[in-house]
Amino acid sequence: MPELFDQLSTRSALAKIGKDFHHRGWMAGTAGNLSARSNSIEDCFWITSSGLPKGQLDKHDFILMDLKSNDVSQRFYENAKPSAETCIHSTIYTLFPDSRACFHIHSVDACIATSRITTGQQQMLLPPLEMIKGLDIWQQNPEVNLSLFENLLDVAEISQQIQTRFKQTTPEIPALMIRDHGITVWGNSIQQTYNRVEIIEFIMSYLVRSN
Ligand SMILES: [Zn+2]
């Protein structure tokens, strides 16, 4: 039996996933961020510290954030700061209380695929691939849309737009895309979120190669 990520401690699992995603080119340098809810402290989640190379994380390179206050609850290094994109993770955990993990990565294929979508369009229609089933969509020739947001310098504004749109309309799949930037995926466990990132990235690669 493989060792599933949820069988590891939360921070060890996230550090391992950082190395994995870095090797695939999805977290080059310090790009992207990984988070998961604490198993022991309610309404708190661990997230990668800002500015660290994601291929070299260890279990002390995470910060515990309090969802209610938006403050740092625990850190291992005095100068460690939460990522500027932490607000997007907070928004996802608040909007979807069952979500246990949230991963945000920057991939070349996601950037290329979104560059082909007309500016202002708020969704990307995904191809009806077998892989869509991995997102719990069980339909013949599914027509599934991935929510698309514009990339803004002000990350808090992106987070606000996500909150506003998803409060009005539940996304069709547990993922969103920021144009020319990357994907954010969430799930009910670390392993499920990891699997979903692979599926969305598979679809992005397909889109890039099929055009
Ligand atoms: Zn980012």
Distance 3 CA to ligand 1 centre (A): 28
CATH number of the domain within which 184 lies: 3.40.225.10
Ligand 1 center to residue 205 CA distance, Å? Answer: 19
CA atoms within 13 A on the CB side of 179: 17
What tens digit of pLDDT does each residue of 153-210 get? 999 999 999 999 999 999 999 999 999 999 999 999 999 999 999 999 999 999 999 9
Does the pLDDT value for residue 121 go beyond 90? Answer: yes
Sequence-distant (≥ 6) Cβ neighbours of residue 210 within 8 angstroms:
127
Domain residues for the domain of 196 are 5-210
Chain-centroid distance of CA 172 in Å reads 16
Number of domain units in the chain = 1
33 CA → ligand 1 middle, Å: 7
Q: Are 143 and 157 in contact (CB under 8 A)?
A: no
**69 Cα: distance to centroid of ligand 1 (angstroms):** 23
Backbone phi, psi, residue 53, to 5°: -65, 125
Instruction: Write down the pLDDT at residue 42.
Output: 92
pTM of this structure: 0.95
Report the separation in Å between the CA atom of 85 and the middle of ligand 1, taken as the mean of its atom positions: 7
Please report which helix (H) or strand (E) contains residue 164, including its range: helix 155-168
Most confident segment among 94-103, 124-133, 202-211 = 94-103
